[in-house]
Chains A and B, each alone.
Chain A
């Protein structure tokens, strides 16, 4: 609505109490002073109103802070709000990613395996190194074993030692009556005759075989080491492979049993064993030398490995039966350092063999637990951060304020409220608006902070809240409920308009008279004025139009006492919004709906 110059002068007359001609005169003087100031290149300030200034050909009006504040009373307390949408657009992706990863990790059996593979890589490398080392040594051994196995087979086929062994086995099986004494003698004789027999066998081998094992010393060493490995693997495999060694053990066993049995056949057996002792001496000597080789050379670490990893060495067994001669050679040359290295590698193997399995079993559980905790914690934090959950220290205060703000969605056209044609200052408010002194006193003593907060809420309920935010209004109402209840607690505190306590009046409605029970509901706020005279004038006009008009004082430290002018009493926010559509748009302006 346009207030032309004539109307403006009339309003000035009303507000200033001056005569019209004086007003016109003063107004002309004011304009002349402003022009003069502009001609002098200066601005002109009207105290409490603003500054007129001229920049080039443009004349500007800079409203004073007071004026700017007063015309924005409705929006008091409204501050820029950080919307969750700006971050939510990005955060859901991250959240989904966070949620998808653990789910995929749980559902997919591949990821944990990949992770475990990643963890296992170093161990696998070590393990591979150890396996390579073993495989290399075994390959070398096998190569040497193959070569020597052929030689041994030839030797066994050609030599009488085969007969000797077979005879010994048969004799021992059949004649298990050899006494311990005889065995001791046999051992003594075997120890004495070791070198002789070895030399004899070596000579025979030299004669029959070729270049490699020409030396009797080498042959003796080789023979010992073959036996060593037979014994070494005898515990693992070898019924077939360790027949020779078992036979020797059987002799002892049978010897112990023989003591319990017959003594009569001792002499006969002695004669026989004497004849066979030479043969047995060879075997026993080999065994003893093999035992020595075991303890001295290399068998301990490999024996441990083999005892632990029988299954892994199963395919190697067939070749081992022929003898692991090169092992001993290499390790004789490498001496104790190689033994220590192998021992260290053995211990590493043990750890490596266990740790990957353990990790395969344990790592997913820990991963799942950690992921679950991270998801729960992150979800809670995000919910609290965005105000869905109120957690002290996490939920930002501005979000709390946002939660406290109610925004009833009301779309209304721009309109202009009715003009005030009455001189406001000349109207004594007591005449037109009998004040309820008690309520006013209560309102004056009311908490200013509360009023400020309510003002914020009221301002946030502005109709400017777009329809896009309508969905947010309902939860905010719930958040507001207790705060609004506090406002009602003093009993219509701040309402300075008369209340009709007659029972025939409906408690709620847009028109009629204000009822006490209706003050529990909602109302449509039209203006918030700083001058009581203006509020009274509006009250009078609206009452004449038949509206239930309410003026409520809103004390504020910052702006002093404000007068909120509203119409209607409604039971619910929806009723108020529906009623607002029925109100003349020229009256509504930028209205808001709030608790009375």
Chain B
């Protein structure tokens, strides 16, 4: 396992996540992009805050115990 492989591993998953694709790595798990829409939050002081949208990586483990 080389450093280049690890770099390519990260870049490949990242690019697919950016393109909203799910990536399945057998024996490890599935990476999936989860989008959180912008949403309003009401603070305790009564102010309405618009939270910006955000993409998160959701990981579902597939490791064999």
Contact = CB atoms under 8 A, between A and B. Distances in A.
Q: Do A and B bind each other?
A: yes
Interface of A: 1-5, 8, 11-12, 15-18, 22-23, 26-31, 33-35, 38, 46-50, 58-61, 63, 67-68, 70-75, 78-83, 85-87, 90, 414-420, 424-425, 459-460, 462, 464-466, 527, 529, 531, 534, 589-590
A534 B22 CA distance: 17
B5 A23 contact: yes
Interface of B: 1-2, 4-29, 31, 33, 35, 37-38, 40-43, 46-57, 59, 61, 63
Given A78-B53, A86-B46, A49 B1 contact: no
B38 A11 contact: no
Given A30-B9, A67-B10, A534 B15 contact: yes
A418 B15 CA distance: 11
B25 A8 contact: yes
Nearest to A22: B5
Contacts of B15: 420, 424, 529, 531, 534
A315 to B, nearest CB: 64
Contacts of A49: 6, 9-10, 13-14
Contacts of B6: 30, 46-47, 49
11 contacts: A3-B21, A12-B9, A26-B1, A29-B1, A31-B25, A50-B57, A70-B18, A80-B52, A86-B47, A460-B52, A589-B20
B10 A75 contact: no
A420 B17 CA distance: 12
A416 B5 contact: no
Nearest to B16: A3
Given A2-B24, A49-B13, A79 B35 contact: no
A61 B57 contact: yes
Count chain A CB atoms within 10 A of each CB in B10, B13, B14, B59 and give the residue with the most.
B14
Contacts of A38: 63
Nearest to A29: B1
B26 to A, nearest CB: 4
B61 A59 contact: yes
Given A17-B8, A48-B10, A425-B8, 16 more contacts: A1-B21, A2-B22, A16-B9, A18-B8, A26-B2, A27-B5, A27-B25, A38-B63, A46-B9, A49-B10, A67-B10, A67-B57, A86-B46, A417-B19, A419-B19, A590-B35
Contacts of B53: 75, 78, 462, 464, 590
Nearest to B62: A59
Contact of A71 (B17, B25, B48, B50): B17
Contacts of B11: 15, 531
B38 to A, nearest CB: 5
Given A12-B8, A15-B11, A82 B18 contact: no
B48 A82 contact: yes
Given A26-B5, A71-B18, A72-B54, A464 B48 contact: no
Nearest to A423: B8
Given A46-B9, A48-B10, A49-B10, A80 B51 contact: yes
Contact of B27 (A26, A31, A68, A589): A31
Contacts of B28: 30-31, 34
B5 A67 contact: no
Nearest to B46: A86
Contact of A82 (B13, B31, B47): B47
A420 to B, nearest CB: 7
A263 to B, nearest CB: 105
B3 to A, nearest CB: 8
B13 to A, nearest CB: 7
A29 B1 CA distance: 7
Nearest to B10: A49
Nearest to B49: A80
A561 B64 CA distance: 40
A3 B63 contact: no
Nearest to A32: B27
Contact of B22 (A1, A28, A81): A1
Contacts of A63: 56-57
Nearest to A63: B57
Contacts of A81: 49-50, 52
Nearest to A468: B40
Count chain B CB atoms within 10 A of each CB in A73, A86, A416, A460 and give the residue with the most.
A86
Contact of B20 (A33, A50, A83, A416): A416
B23 A8 contact: yes
Given A26-B1, A81-B49, A419 B35 contact: no
Contacts of B5: 12, 16, 18, 22-23, 26-27, 30
Count chain B CB atoms within 10 A of each CB in A33, A83, A425 and give the residue with the most.
A83
A58 B27 CA distance: 15
Given A81-B50, A82-B49, A59 B14 contact: no
Count chain B CB atoms within 10 A of each CB in A35, A49, A79 and give the residue with the most.
A49
B40 to A, nearest CB: 7
B14 A70 contact: yes
Nearest to B36: A464
A228 B10 CA distance: 118
